[in-house]
Amino acid sequence: MLKKMNLPNKLTILRILLVPVFIVFMSLANVYPDELFWSNYVALGIFIFAAFTDFLDGYISRKNNIVTKFGKIMDPLADKLLISVAFIMLSANGTVPAWIAAIVVFRDLFVDALRLFGTDNGKDIAASLSGKIKTAFQLIGIILAILDKNKFAAFFTESIKMSTCDLLINVCMTVSITVAILATACSLVDYIIRFKEDIDVEQ
C-alpha cells in the first residue's frame, strides 16, 4: 500500500505513527521527571519533527498540485491527533490546565463533524485565517510548554523564584497558548457561521 502512496500521504502516515511514540516519551518524562529527564527532550524532538512533516507535505502537495481524497481526510486528522495528544499530555503533567486541553479537543471534534457533514453535502468548508493562526500559536505554545519547568501563567505568582530564561519561556508559552485559545474560539464561531450559511441541515 505504501508503495502506491505519494510522498505527502506517506508523510501524513509517518506523522500519525509518531503520535504514539510521542505519548511514550512524554509519559516517561511525566512519571520519571528526574531519572528520565532526557525523555522530555526526545518527546520535544519528535513533536518538532512531526510538525515539520506537516509543513513539508503541504509544501510538496502545493508545489506539485497533488490532491487526493486520502490526503484531504487524513492530513488534518494527523495534525489534530498530534496537537490534541500534546495538550492532553501537558495537562496530565500539570503544565497546562485541563480546561485548555478540553477546549482544543472539543473544537477539533466539533469542526471535524461540521466539515464531514459539509463534504457529504458537496461543500468543502476550508480552513479560515483564525484556524491557521490557532495552529501556528498552538505549535509554538506546545514546544515552549514542553521546555517549560513551570505551569501555565506561573510568572504571575512565581516570577521572583524563576531564572531570567525560565521567566521568558513561561511568559512566551502563556501568551502563545492564550492567543491559540482565543483563535480556537474565533475559529469555532467562524466554522459555525459558514456552516449555517452554506449547508442545508434538512438534507
Mean pLDDT of 127-134: 78
Q: 490534541: which residue's cell? A: 84
How far is residue 56's CA from residue 74's CA, in Å, rounded to a whole number?
15
pLDDT, one tens digit per residue, over 23-78 is: 999 999 989 888 888 999 999 999 999 999 988 988 888 888 887 878 878 888 89
By the 10 Å C-beta count (0-12 exposed, 13-18 middle, 19+ buried), 139 is classed as buried
Q: What is the largest distance, in Å, between two alpha-carbon atoms of the chain?
A: 59
State CA 5 to chain mean position distance: 24
Can you read off the three cell numbers belonging to residue 175? Answer: 501568551
pLDDT, one tens digit per residue, over 156-180 is: 988 888 899 999 999 999 999 999 9
- Of the candidates 102, 114, 125, 95, the one whose C-alpha atom is nearest the C-alpha of residue 181 is 102
